[in-house]
Amino acid sequence: MKMRMKFFALLMAVAMTAVCLAGCGSSGTTASSGSAASASGSTSAASTAAAFKIGGTAPLTGGAAIYGNSAKNGAQIAVDEINAMGGIQFELKYEDDTHDAEKAVNAYNALKDWGMQLSLGSVTSKPCEATSAENYADRIFALTPSASSVAVTDGKDNVFQMCFMDPNQGSASAQYISEKALGTKIAVIWKNDDVYSKGIHDTFTSKAAELGLSIVSDTTFADGNATDFSVQLTSAQTNGADLIFLPMYYDAASLILSQANSMGYAPKFFGVDGMDGILTMEGFDTSLAEGVMLLTPFNADSSDEKTAAFVKAYQDKFGETPNQFAADGYDCIYAYKQALENAKATPDMDAKTLCDLMIQQFTTMTFDGLTGSGMTWNTSGQVSKSPKGMIIQNGAYVGLD
């Protein structure tokens, strides 16, 4: 009797062990729907056990939402394409920071709690200055698609940029205007409480002086007076400016274009990458942007096969033409793929280990993407690639070169 009882107990123990092992296996290989998406609308395309977790913060709502959603959507297309290949896998999650530095840090902490291994930083500059400090302290590598201020990467060996730095945009714009003889008398209107606008303004004016460009009006504005630009435009017009340089985002630029038109003032306008998106701005008369020029590393009208495929995929999925921010987000994911494959990294590695590997890869590799060929990064995280001159014609971007 004792022998039968011992045998029965042994059978029960074996059965219970099998049940436990089956349960553990299930929880380790299937991501719950809750872990794959956040209230901000981010999605996951792969299981957490087999995928690298990539997170980013962006203005998904509010006045700068066009930038955040574009970068997120571009990144998501890249994730979907890569996951469909069947090799390396990614899980992508974005949190809304509403273009606010404090909210961006809260969003970053939510991503860290989620288990973020690699970061896309933040989409806009001021929030990214705040989150990049967290990336540096936590040793989580970051590759921001579009935060361009110098302070984003300054002193942080593990924070890199896919976009041009503000100083590069300013000097490149002055160089382009000079080389193409686009204007003889230049006016500059810029936003003094925005690090993005100020950084571009400062290097533009410095380079313009070096090149002998005549700046006849240099006026500014801030958040509190970003609706009436009559003083700035009158200064430009009175001083005979035939080209106005606008280092700013598209929302303020749209008002300047509208108010200049109301005044009957029609100089040339030259902008920067923050103007990309003005053609899809709700309620804006796009005819007012006709002839506006800007420097951007991406042209959705390009005929090259890679760009055409991306534009089609984006239009099919989101119903609109992608802008530069979408292309930057897309390139970030593919750059991560290349770096991770080169380093033979695996998803079970912790963030610090991956951080060390990414620093080594990004400072030595060359990357071909939608926004540039032969891209390289220096040890300060700054990218080297060439901008393209664009002009808006018939409601679309057309290459100037």
Residue 45: predicted pLDDT: 39
Written as one letter, the residue type at 199 is: G
CB 55 within 8 A of CB 142: no
Question: What's the pLDDT tens digit per position in 160-201?
Answer: 999 977 667 888 899 999 999 999 999 999 999 988 899 899
Residue 35: predicted pLDDT: 32
Question: What's the pLDDT tens digit per position in 217-237?
Answer: 999 999 888 899 999 999 999
Copy the structure tokens of residue 354: 């991956």
CA distances from 25 to 20, 180, 228, 258, 261 (A): 9, 64, 62, 61, 66
Say how many Å lie between the first and final Cα of the chain, rounded. 94
- Please name each of the domains of the chain with its CATH number: 41-164+304-381 (3.40.50.2300), 167-296 (3.40.50.2300)
Strands 293-296 and 52-58: unpaired
Helix axes 230-238, 250-263, angle to 10 degrees: 60
Residue 395: predicted pLDDT: 85
Among the ranges given (13-27, 95-109, 112-126), the one the predictor scored with the smallest mean pLDDT = 13-27
